């Protein structure tokens, strides 16, 4: 693993993020430890979105004038930037408004294929009675509910990999990936436990029965190097706002052959080849899946965010956050009455730490921490089944970013040490 950022480098990085100068309700600079919910944005990303509107705003693929050409170039060149960042090809990138839409795109397209849309070309994507979709108990709702809906529509069944007591995927439950499994969908990193999934083991089990694989990278793609060419998955989903980019943009990566086989989900302008009053034909991927107006300014700014992270170095971001993860786990675990949800060590784990404070509701924990100007997430984090597994209804969660400092982790730990006493526990 590469070296952590030096103090001077970290100061320079932090100076790129205007929001880090904000003072909280208590009068101190806000220690923003909620990056896994949404990341903060460097000035270059904010400027890129504003500059697009100031200089190049136009409809993509719809004109030959200068602004239209510039908008189209920004839109399409961003495909190459994201593809390079994740180890794919530009024509394997489909723009969506978020990762949730990307997962739903796959699920609904499979449902359409199961109804006969797409003809014989889409046969490999069909599911029905007797078939199985597999996810894990560690998933965000966005990687559970679409598959539940697909199973309801098609008569397939949903099964799931279970977890070890510390919240990691239990490889002893790989047997749920049976010969009738058509797709295995799982998270690269849990947004509650921070545990890195054993991708090679799960994909090997899926390949052994001929199943497709979808990987949710929302909690990994901004925190570690990512190379889809070595992960052996068929689909992967991304969210701009988790990756120092704007909200309102996401992406699906899929193998080119699968995109060609998938029936469209949204139909209308921009995705058609030809239309008569009787029938329509559709463009080749990725345009087939990009009906209507797209978040072009946000995509252009996301591209800038990817370049920014590449300049920092994903291996160095990982090293920096790994050191903070160890510090955060050690500090939180040392406080009486706090239960960490997930692995207690930093091995195969990133800096996402959810915890339950004995006798104190997570929302009260969050409000107390806000009073000392430390921002954490509270709730079930869109992962109710995982919280049920840990026998809690909800939790508080702290998470790190490339900008996080040792002093901010110390403020988190100091604040948490006061919570139970403040509430009379």
Q: Taken in order 396, 402, 403, 408, is the CA torsion positive or negative? A: positive
Asked if residues 164 and 404 have their Cβ atoms less than 8 Å apart, the reply is: no
**Residues in the chain, overall count:** 425
CB 383 within 8 A of CB 191: yes
User: Which residues, at least 6 apart from 310, have a Cβ–Cβ distance to it below 8 Å?
Assistant: 85
| Helices H / strands E in the chain, number of each | 13, 15
Cα three-residue angle 313-199-234, rounded to 5 degrees: 90
Q: What is the pLDDT of residue 365?
A: 98
Per-residue pLDDT of the chain (425 residues; tens, 9 = 90+): 568 999 999 999 999 999 999 999 999 999 999 999 999 999 999 999 999 999 999 999 988 999 999 999 999 999 999 999 999 999 999 999 999 999 999 999 999 999 999 999 999 999 999 999 999 999 999 999 999 999 999 999 999 999 999 999 999 999 999 999 999 999 999 999 999 999 999 999 999 999 999 999 999 999 999 999 999 999 999 999 999 999 999 999 999 999 999 999 999 999 999 999 999 999 999 999 999 999 999 999 999 999 999 999 999 999 999 999 999 999 999 999 999 999 999 999 999 999 999 999 999 999 999 999 999 999 999 999 999 999 999 999 999 999 999 999 999 999 999 999 999 98
Give the Cα separation of 171 and 176 in Å (integer).
10
Give the DSSP per-residue string, 269-337: TTSEEEE-SS-EEEPPTTGGG--S---HHHHHHHHHHHHHHHHH-HHHHHHHHHHHHHHHHHHHHTSTT
Question: 382 catalytic, yes or no?
Answer: yes
DSSP H or E segment with residue 44:
helix 43-51
Q: Collapsing DSSP states into helix, strand and coil, what is residue 382? A: coil
* 294 and 95 Cβ atoms separated by less than 8 Å: yes
The structural domains of the chain, ordered by start, are 7-41+313-423 (3.90.1150.10), 48-310 (3.40.640.10)
Ordered strands of the 352-357 beta sheet: 338-341, 352-357, 395-399, 377-379
Mean pLDDT (the chain) is 97
- The phi and psi torsions of 180 (rounded to 5 degrees) equal -90, 10
Alpha helices in 66-222 (DSSP H): 66-86, 99-114, 145-154, 199-208
Closest by Cα among 36, 77, 86, 79 to 241: 36
Residues 362 and 397: their CA atoms lie apart, in Å, by: 9
Rounded CA separation 353/356 (Å): 10
- What is residue 142's predicted lDDT score, i.e. its pLDDT? 98
Which pLDDT does position 425 carry in this prediction? 85
pLDDT for res 106: 98
Residue in this structure with the two tokens 């709702």, named with its chain if needed:
141
Q: How far is CA 291 from CA 93, 109, 268, in A?
A: 14, 14, 6
- Quick one: pLDDT at residue 372? 98
For the segment 134-176, what is each residue's pLDDT rounded down to a tens digit?
A: 999 999 999 999 999 999 999 999 999 999 999 999 999 999 9
pLDDT, residue 3, reads 82
pLDDT of the residue at 190: 98
The answer to whether the CB of 190 falls within 8 A of the CB of 138 is yes
Helix (H, G, I), strand (E, B) or coil at 369: helix
């Amino acid at each position: 693993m590469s070296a952590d950022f030096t103090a001077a480098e970290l100061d320079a990085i932090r100076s790129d993020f205007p929001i880090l100068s904000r003072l909280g309700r208590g009068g101190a600079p806000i220690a923003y430890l909620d990056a896994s919910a949404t990341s903060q944005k460097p000035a270059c990303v904010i400027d890129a979105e504003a500059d697009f509107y100031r200089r190049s705003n136009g409809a993509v693929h719809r004109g030959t004038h200068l602004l239209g050409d510039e908008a189209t170039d920004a839109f399409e060149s961003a495909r190459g930037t994201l593809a390079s960042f994740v180890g794919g090809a530009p024509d394997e990138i489909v723009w969506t408004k978020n990762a949730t839409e990307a997962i739903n795109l796959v699920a609904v397209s499979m449902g359409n294929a199961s109804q006969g849309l797409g003809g014989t070309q889409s046969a490999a994507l069909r599911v029905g009675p007797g078939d199985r979709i597999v996810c894990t108990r560690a998933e965000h709702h966005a990687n559970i509910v679409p598959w539940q809906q697909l199973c309801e529509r098609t008569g397939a069944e949903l099964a799931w990999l279970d977890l070890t007591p510390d919240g990691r995927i239990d490889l002893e439950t790989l047997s749920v990936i049976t010969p009738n499994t058509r797709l295995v969908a799982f998270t690269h990193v849990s947004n509650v436990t921070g545990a890195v999934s054993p991708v090679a083991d799960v994909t090997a089990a899926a390949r052994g029965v001929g199943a497709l694989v979808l990987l949710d990278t929302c909690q990994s793609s901004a925190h570690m190097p990512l190379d889809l060419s070595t992960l052996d998955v068929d689909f992967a989903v991304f969210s701009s706002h988790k990756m120092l980019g704007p909200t309102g943009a996401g992406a699906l990566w899929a193998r080119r052959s699968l995109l060609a086989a998938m029936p469209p989900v949204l139909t209308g302008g921009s995705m058609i080849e030809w239309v008569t009053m009787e029938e329509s034909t559709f463009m080749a991927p990725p345009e087939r899946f990009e009906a209507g107006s797209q978040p072009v300014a946000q995509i252009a700014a996301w591209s800038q965010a990817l370049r920014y992270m590449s300049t920092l170095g994903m291996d160095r971001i990982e090293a920096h956050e790994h050191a903070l993860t160890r510090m955060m786990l050690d500090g939180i675990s040392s406080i009486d009455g706090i239960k960490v949800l997930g692995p207690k060590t930093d091995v195969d784990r990133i800096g996402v730490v959810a915890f339950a404070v004995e006798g104190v509701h997570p929302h009260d924990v969050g409000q107390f921490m806000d009073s000392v100007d430390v921002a954490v997430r509270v709730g079930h984090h869109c992962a109710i089944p995982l919280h049920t597994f840990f026998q809690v209804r909800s939790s508080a969660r702290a998470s790190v970013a490339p900008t996080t400092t040792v002093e901010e982790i110390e403020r988190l730990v100091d604040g948490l040490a006061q919570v139970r006493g403040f509430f009379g526990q």
